[in-house]
Structure 1
Amino acid sequence: MARQRSDTLREALTRHSRDLLRFLTRRVGADVAPDLAQEAMLRALHYSEREEVREISSLLHSIAANLARDHVRRAILESRFLVRGLEVDDLIVGGLSPGARLEAEQAIKRFAEALEALPPRCRQVFVMRRFEDLHQEEIARRLGISRNMVEKHLRAAFRHLRGALD
């Protein structure tokens, strides 16, 4: 019975893989999405070994949304602190004083909240430019929009993020 349930779940994962990949591509970009999709499927499989899964699509999207959020937050963390010459792992293992760590965590939280508040396309353009280091032309090509629209999204994102952090 467990084998049959596992096979059924694998079929469902295969059936939902395209939607999952599209969902993640919108959130984190085409370069990272396949890895996160694979991780989401593995986690769903592991979860299904412990619990009965009734709605695989909801489970996958929930796991994928959490993975995407974690990825973006880590990218933000890396971006902010690598500029200052700090390694992200230093923050994680406590390389900063408690006061500095608290200040950094608060700044990261404000930035992450502001980033999540951006409209999806605006956020996607910002992440592709800032964290994936893609040129505006490449972003426009990948998203099927004009370079002017990429610039508009970037200006809006920077204005919003600057306002949230000031």
Structure 2
Amino acid sequence: MSRFEIRCLAKSGVVQKMLSLSSESSLGDVFVANRAQLLHVARRIVRTADLADDVVQDAYLRIADGACDRKVDKPMGYCCQVVRNLALDHCRRQSLEATYRTFDVDVETLDVPGPPSPDCVMRDRQAVGLIEQTLSALSPRTRVAFQLYRLEGLTQRDIAVQMGCALGLVNRLIAEADEAIGAMRHLIKD
């Protein structure tokens, strides 16, 4: 074979293909010789050329850095599997990260509530004081029924058993307390 023929073969990639088939070539040589095919494998999975190029570069670094002492029977298959696995890992990682991202919220413009102003604290304390006055003006039975229902979360049936009265009476006592406090609703600001 003449030098001219060797140069023509080298330019067409035939020499690289021959290198990839030789049993003495390393995985890195096989990877470089078949980079276009490996890039195609990655692109079919990650769907963009830039990401595919990143995946192939990462795969090459792993293969080149991980000096493999064992003999690989099918080096091209091994390289394809490494590229495929890294591309799939990239897709999984992106889909997981996408669940944590919020693109439609501008964090800079979020209105984060600060501590309440002294005026709000004073108004809330006055409202609580007025509600306490209203409850103290009610009968002790009505107060107890209201506190058990609204503050302690007991059911009306449990309150009736605890107070030893009819369920209808408990319902009426709670309604009476709600009605008395309802007059104070204008003081409570949402």
- TM-score scaled by length of structure 1: 0.42
1 or 2, which has the higher helix percentage?
Answer: 1
Larger Rg, first or second structure (1 or 2):
2
